[in-house]
Amino acid sequence: MQIQTTQHDHQIAKLAALAIALHMIEALIPSPIPGVKPGIANIVTLYVLYQFGFASAAWVSILRVFASSLLLGQFLSPTFVLSLSGALCSLGALWLAIMLPKRLFTAVSLSVIAAFAHIAGQLLVVRLWLIPHAGVSYLIPLFAIAALIFGVVNGVITNVILQQTQRGNAG
């Protein structure tokens, strides 16, 4: 039996592979505070969101979470659950945020919103399941400042990539 695949499926698979690679690279970078990561794989999610729409972005994001956790040996571990809840919250926020007028909001807005949604999703799991009291609240401001900085940086990179792509298509 052969599964019929479309050109679009291949495109999504390639981009998901890129996101997984970025996720792997990031896993090697030591972090000063557990849980603070730049989230460079989100650049791919944002790019796909702008180029192919929400459904494709959701595929790339969820595929990345599952495949990366399998590769890192974290599948179904707390790390995986945190990653998944962060990704799902991010996607939910992006689903709403992509409706913002493009004239006023670029990928920077979406990236910052997604980053904050990501930490909110993770903290929800931490609070409800892993550490069911206010102990982590001390770290929340650090997560927030990291989300803001990395959100802006990732958004700017996404903007540049999107501009390059458009220029490439035009020329």
Partner 1 sequence: MSNLLNRSGAIYRQLRAGDWLIIIFSLAITLLLFQTLWTNEHASKVQVRLGDTVYGTYSLNQNRDIVIEGGIGTSVISIAQGKVRFSKSPCHNQYCVHQGWLVRAGQAAICLPNQISLELIGENKPYDSLNY
Which residues in this chain contact partner 1 in the complex, by CB under 8 A? Answer: 34, 100-101, 103-106, 108-109, 112-113, 116, 130-138, 140-141, 144-145, 147-148, 151-152, 155-156, 159-160, 163
User: Which single residue is written with the structure tokens 């990179």?
Assistant: 157
Is 68 strand, coil or helix?
helix
Q: Which stretches within 29-77 are classed as H helix? A: 41-52, 54-72
Which C-beta is closer to partner 1: that of 12 or that of 147?
147
C-alpha pair distances (Å), 114 with each of 8, 45, 46, 61: 25, 10, 9, 12
User: Which single residue is written with the structure tokens 């972090």?
Assistant: 31
Rounded distance between C-alpha atoms, residue 46 and residue 114, angstroms = 9
- Tell me how far, at minimum, the Cβ of 39 lies from partner 1, in Å: 15
- Tell me how far, at minimum, the Cβ of 126 lies from partner 1, in Å: 10
Which C-beta is closer to partner 1: that of 29 or that of 132?
132
Rounded distance between C-alpha atoms, residue 35 and residue 83, angstroms = 10
Which C-beta is closer to partner 1: that of 76 or that of 130?
130
- Tell me how far, at minimum, the Cβ of 79 lies from partner 1, in Å: 11
What would you measure as the largest C-alpha separation in the chain, in angstroms?
56
- Tell me how far, at minimum, the Cβ of 1 lies from partner 1, in Å: 45
- Tell me how far, at minimum, the Cβ of 29 lies from partner 1, in Å: 18
Which C-beta is closer to partner 1: that of 17 or that of 162?
162
Burial tier of 7 (Cβ tally within 10 Å: 0-12, 13-18, 19+): exposed
Residue 97 Cα to chain centre, angstroms: 14
Which C-beta is closer to partner 1: that of 11 or that of 106?
106
